Amino acid sequence: METRKEKREMYIDHGHNHKELKLRNGTLHVFANDEVFNNLDAKVYEMADNNLMIPRAVHMSYTPDAHVGIGTCIGTTAVWEMKDGFVSPSIVGSDIGCGMRVHLTPLSKDDIQDKKIRRELIQAVEKVVPVNERSASHYGDIDMEKVVTSGIKGLPNKYIPDAYTPSKKRSLTHVENATFTFDTDYLQHIHPKQWSRGKKQIGTLGGGNHFIEIQVVEVDEGHRDLAKRWGLIDGQVVVMIHSGSRAWGALMGRDYKKDFQRLMHKWGVGTSDPNLVFAPIETDEGMRYLNLMYSALNYAVTNRHMLAYGVQEGFKDVFGSDFEMPVLYDLMHNYALKEPHRNRSMLVHRKGTTRALPPGHFLNAAPYKETGHPVLIPGSMGTASYILVGREEGVKNFYSVCHGAGRIRSRRATKQAVTVDEFASSMKVGTDEEILVNHRTLERILDECPQAYKDVDHIIDSVVGANLASVVARCRPMAVIKGV
């Protein structure tokens, strides 16, 4: 087996942070600066080689946040033609529809600089947003069938704050997709347990790397006009949310993985990794998975919407009932979506990668047709997050960029390598610039400390240097709410 050094020596360097590697089973494109590229683990290449055993791949790539996942690396974009291609739950990921959302506020940094106010905000939000895995949804009047078939449009009007202005429903227009359509007959395959758990979890945060973060904006000098058009100004407070489809998507991924394994065994196909499953799109298994995956995307975008609704209710408790918090954008990073590319219909898998469409692209949400949409890239709870805009050159990677900083070590390894004191130092504990968290002890969330992640500045440098996207704003965290 080749060493990491030998792998690096096999690539073609196209410049602009774009390397093309000829692996045993096909071609892998890597978009990363030299420092990030040279530190990629050899295991990611083994996983890519396994993925490339799936026939007729049109394109496969890694973004700079690439790291080992189950069956497929997080940070993978993989593309097949719809007419004769494949779908892989492993290259979608278990948290189907997981994504990012940012909301604007009228507040400035000075309004929340006092730690007492930030602590009050955290507590107010936690009263409305369940962050404990055992806590149930506060929204018993939401119809689950309407949510999974119609997304945000399936919610009662009272949960869409701007529903009284039909021509300006930001909740429905300033999102990648408010509704994903699919053949709802496939819902008959959903187990009653999944319906029950989905109902209990709508509007809940979830654990792991999910979060609600209160941040302060620093606009990039070269994009002040664009930032202004989007409603972003220096010193402004924004709220970033990261969550997905919760158990609705997780149970689906687990169940349909078994279906795919049975089909692969029947056909005598597979790879050295039993966690990598795939099937032709047009098989019964493929079509059932794709259609029900769209139900999970509907659940995910609605879940983030309801999380934001809860956050706004918490802010109202602190700043008054007239407080408004319009959405800037919502977009996903775990899915397989039918998209037109190269005058053909393609199925684009993005596992831990985010779509970054340039200005003028026809797939942009209507409010962002002219400018391109905001691309939301989180860092870690102790480092900045970024808002970017896609570039035309992104076509070389099917308009995909990273979805975050990407883990540099596992949760177990993080707990062994990083001390609580080191974690506290990275959170500036005890200083005026302390990043507050909703947990009494940092030890409880040590596996999510900044030291568990790659340097987000290197990740963004990789993306910008590859001409995939440009930075519009940097967002520095001031308070973080994590689930457990």
3-state secondary structure at position 404: coil
Alpha helices in 188-345 (DSSP H): 192-201, 224-230, 246-267, 284-319
**Distance, C-alpha 192 to centroid of its chain:** 28
Sorted by sequence, the CB contacts under 8 Å of residue 14 that are 6+ apart come out as: 20
Closest of 54, 100, 70, 72 to residue 355, by C-alpha: 100
To the question of whether residue 385 is assigned a binding role by annotation, the answer is: yes
Q: How many CA atoms lie within 13 A of 400 on its CB side?
A: 35
Give whole-number Cα distances, 97 to 69, 103, 224, 333, 396, in Å. Answer: 16, 19, 31, 7, 24
> Structure pTM?
0.96
Closest of 12, 310, 356 to residue 139, by C-alpha: 310
Contact 240, 404 (CB under 8 A): no
Query: Which residues are part of the catalytic machinery?
Result: 403
Q: In sequence order, what are the beta bridge partners of 100?
A: 242, 331
- Which amino acid type is present at position 56? R
Closest of 244, 220, 236, 230 to residue 386, by C-alpha: 220
Contact 472, 220 (CB under 8 A): yes
To the question of whether residue 403 is assigned a binding role by annotation, the answer is: yes
To the question of whether residue 334 is assigned a binding role by annotation, the answer is: yes
484 residues of the chain, pLDDT tens digit each: 454 555 545 799 999 999 999 999 999 999 999 999 999 999 999 999 999 999 999 999 999 999 999 999 999 999 999 999 999 999 999 999 999 999 999 999 999 999 999 999 999 999 999 998 778 899 999 999 999 999 999 999 999 977 555 556 899 999 999 999 999 999 999 989 899 999 999 999 999 899 999 999 999 999 999 999 999 999 999 999 999 999 999 888 777 888 999 999 999 999 999 999 999 999 999 999 999 999 999 999 999 999 999 999 999 999 999 999 999 999 999 999 999 999 999 999 999 999 999 999 999 999 999 999 999 999 999 999 999 999 999 999 999 999 999 999 999 999 999 999 999 999 999 999 999 999 878 999 999 999 999 999 999 999 999 999 999 999 999 999 998 7
Domains by residue range for the chain, with CATH: 4-408+453-482 (3.90.1860.10)
To the question of whether residue 140 is assigned a binding role by annotation, the answer is: no
Give whole-number Cα distances, 130 to 19, 138, 156, 416, in Å. Answer: 43, 8, 20, 29
